[in-house]
Structure 1
């Protein structure tokens, strides 16, 4: 498995994963906006096929994981961890100080992954994410990257 910054030619594969992996997927226009920024969208390839992607921002020492998705056919095989570890290394190289993310309170697998990497819950946004039956909370997590 190999992690690298995305290029324009990766857009259709990334957008397809976004559509398959999320109940309330990002519109194409939003994803395209992040593709136009350097080192913002990252992909994980396996056998020359994109199986996961992530979107991060880094401003003034603070990074945010805006989106991460693994092809549903590839979930549960460690792809998310590989991608998160590569992003962690990149952010350390960039001397980021903190890394933030939000996660659906029902996404127990993602929460377990984030906590195993060292993220700690820092807050909650009530009724943030849409669901089939209304809304659910977003849990806010933070990881200190520099001591």
Structure 2
């Protein structure tokens, strides 16, 4: 990713008026997307909801919830046309840094077992698989397991 692209990009707080654009990406990249209400509720609840923008184009988004000493990334997504360009790693690193600022000792996330690209990104950033949630995600033919991954900070 070029320096010019990185400089033109910003990560900012998600606002309720962003939800209509966020849901378009969510529906584009996930077979079983969150609802608009899921996103709106997360914003209203005060979770760390962020969008990744470049020149008013929404590239991606993420939501992180803080517990007493650990952060949990609830969702993260990058628009299909912007994937495989380093944006997911940039957004994930932002959340890791935010978790450190919040004095978390670890970051948790769940990923579909079939989402090999995302799982590999998480591993490159230091996440380790700590468990499997059997049948956690809905799937076309029943349910799919989730890999539970943790990064020690």
SS of alignment partner, residue 124 of structure 1: strand
The runs of 5 or more residues in structure 1 that have no matched partner are none
- Summarize the alignment of residues 128-139 of structure 1 with structure 2, pairs less than 5 Å apart: 128-139=136-147
Over the aligned positions, Cα root-mean-square deviation in angstroms equals: 1.2
Q: 1:60-107: per-residue Cα shift (whole Å, max 9, x none)? A: 011101111111121111110010011111111111111100000110
State the alpha-carbon separation in 2 of the partners of residues 38 and 129 from structure 1: 25
Give the distance between the partners of 2:36 and 2:17, measured in 1 at CA.
15
Question: Which region of structure 1 is more displaced relative to structure 2, 37-46 or 27-36?
Answer: 37-46
| Normalised TM-score (structure 2) | 0.90
Runs of 4+ in 1 over 3 A off after TM superposition: none
Q: 1:42 aligns with which of 50, 73, 76?
A: 50
Task: Name the count of aligned residue pairs.
Answer: 145
Matched with 2:124 is 116
Segments of 5+ residues of structure 2 without an aligned counterpart are 1-8
Residue 92, structure 1, aligned to residue 92, structure 2: no
Match of 2:19 among 3, 11, 15: 11
The alpha carbon displacement at 1:39 in A equals 4.8
2:70 counterpart of 1:62: yes
- Report the 3-state secondary structure (helix = DSSP H, G, I; strand = E; otherwise coil) of the residue aligned with 2:31: coil
CA distance in 2 between counterparts of 1:38 and 1:49 reads: 24
